Chain A
Amino acid sequence: MSERFREGDRVRTSAVDPDHHTRLPGYARGRVGVVIGDDGVHPLADLRARGIERPQPVYLVRFTARELFGQGDHTVTLSLWEEYLSDE
């Protein structure tokens, strides 16, 4: 499966709060992070919860605390499906 993003890319997460199951936590919505690696190819959790298997690349994306919470000097890394991300 071809991957849309590569290590070092800056990406923005979706700002949408969907009314279905998702694995994009609220605190990381609409935020800019950096891809630090790939996390394999897995069925999109949002669809899998409804019985639809649609695998797509998952990325490790690192965010600064300042970007997520407006303060702090730590980082938070999440695994995010390609569909959650867009170019920044």
Chain B
Amino acid sequence: MIYLKTMLKVIDNSGAELAECIKVLRKSPKNCAHVGDKIVVVVQDAKPLTSQITGAAAANRVKRGDICRAVVVRTRSPIQRPDGTVVKFDDNACVLVNQKDEPIGTRVSSVVARELRKKSFNKIVSLAPRVV
């Protein structure tokens, strides 16, 4: 249940830590985003940019106030699976992506839901340390 004003954790190394949803993409206005849906977010909290980070990681850093696209990877609201299993996470989390649906960061730091594979976000699933 991700919609306007929902605050999400950002779990990649793009530099963002907290993001606020401002739009759910390709859904009717009454709908909300679930795992695997794309949203537009504003970065509300980001790690400070230090000179130690170099290369691709530095070029892809985001700042506070940046507007990005993101994919929802965990939701607090229950996810019902075809076999009757229901999965609930303790927080809402997302991964920032570019216009081509490729993740901006190079790492995903915590668990993601298995539903992402069905929506063909295979890159994020393979980067994640655990898939539930």
Q: State whether these chains interact.
A: no
Interface residues, chain A, with chain B CB atoms under 8 Å away: none
